[in-house]
Amino acid sequence: MDQTHSSPILPSSLMIYLVLSVLVTLVFAQDYSIPTQWLNTTSSLSRDSRVQLAKQFYTTLGSSYDGNSGQIPSLGIGQNANMLSATAIHDSIVPDGQTSNYNVTSDRFSRAISSLVPAQGGFSNDPMMWGLTAVYAYRAYQQRPFLAYAIQIWETYTPWVISEADAAKGSHPLKNFTFPSECNGSSISGGVFWRIDPGNQGDSGIIAGGEGAYMAYDRLVKPIHFPC
Ligand SMILES: *[C@@H]1O[C@H](CO)[C@@H](O)[C@H](O)[C@H]1NC(C)=O
Ligand SMILES: *[C@@H]1O[C@H](CO)[C@@H](O)[C@H](O)[C@H]1NC(C)=O
Ligand SMILES: *[C@@H]1O[C@H](CO)[C@@H](O)[C@H](O)[C@H]1NC(C)=O
Ligand SMILES: *[C@@H]1O[C@H](CO)[C@@H](O)[C@H](O)[C@H]1NC(C)=O
């Protein structure tokens, strides 16, 4: 398990506080439009310089990958997903990226999801980050296995989202506790539980990493999965 997963040892009251804090933040973020100030960045470096820096970054880290596991051993599971996402995003904006990096990215992706993600059974956050990686990889390389994986992850974890109806009722069909339908005057719909195994029906934890991944993922997968 990733060392960042410290939540289970927290007392339940603190856990609930943390959960509600995350939910409050989420609720106020339920306008899913991208804030306009995020659309443009400012940098004193040219675009080419920034692309070059990105390339140096992943080329340098490339020597740290373990050939068998497809991961950088010193990084956590989610961080490894983010690394590969960054490579795929790079490849989708740089003209020769798709051809020069596809093989290695694809190989690392396959190895990582076969060795790491199943070991995460029962947790939603790391697999969702790998699902997000699959979306970026599909956009960069247009290979169906990435899309298939992204859809599989999205379908697996969507049942653990607190829907508007669940929030209104104050309960979730896969959890055995009730919760306030509102927090600080706002609905708590949109949260995603991080423990998804039947043995943890009583676990109310929601972890920001999985939550953020799901929000990004939901926006990215739906348009691909359900093209209008
Ligand atoms: C972002 O940059 C584009 C092109 O330079 C410009 O047209 C647009 O108004 C800018 N948007 C924001 C939110 O600053
Ligand atoms: C990628 O792998 C394919 C099939 O093994 C091979 O034909 C191709 O040359 C490789 N491309 C690169 C850029 O290594
Ligand atoms: C509750 O909402 C008020 C008004 O928006 C805000 O000032 C306050 O920080 C919120 N409390 C929490 C715990 O988020
Ligand atoms: C809910 O599930 C937990 C296991 O996660 C269990 O310990 C607890 O007793 C259950 N509570 C109820 C009300 O069934």
Whether 5 maps to a domain, the answer reads no
Whether 158 maps to a domain, the answer reads yes
Highest mean pLDDT among 72-76, 98-102, 189-193: 72-76
Question: What is the Cα–Cα distance from 1 to 104, expressed in whole angstroms?
Answer: 25
The closest of 161, 171, 168 to 182, measured between CA atoms, is 168
Whether 2 maps to a domain, the answer reads no
The closest of 192, 196, 70 to 121, measured between CA atoms, is 196
Task: Give whole-number Cα distances, 163 to 5, 33, 171, 176, in Å.
Answer: 25, 19, 10, 16
Whether 7 maps to a domain, the answer reads no
Whether 3 maps to a domain, the answer reads no
The residue whose two tokens read 């992204």 is 150
* pTM of the predicted model over 0.95: no
pLDDT single digits (tens) 63-92: 899 999 999 999 988 899 999 998 898 888
User: Which ligand is closest to the CA of 26, given by its number?
Assistant: 3
pLDDT single digits (tens) 134-149: 999 998 898 899 999 8
Whether 90 maps to a domain, the answer reads yes
Q: Tell me the pairing of strands 182-183 and 186-187.
A: antiparallel
Cβ 40 under 6 angstroms from ligand 1? yes
- Count up the domains in the chain and report the number: 1
State which residues form the domain around 25. Answer: 12-225
pLDDT value at 99 more than 80: no
User: Which ligand is closest to the CA of 176, given by its number?
Assistant: 4
pLDDT of residue 5: 35
Whether 37 maps to a domain, the answer reads yes
Question: What's the rounded mean pLDDT across residues 195-199?
Answer: 87
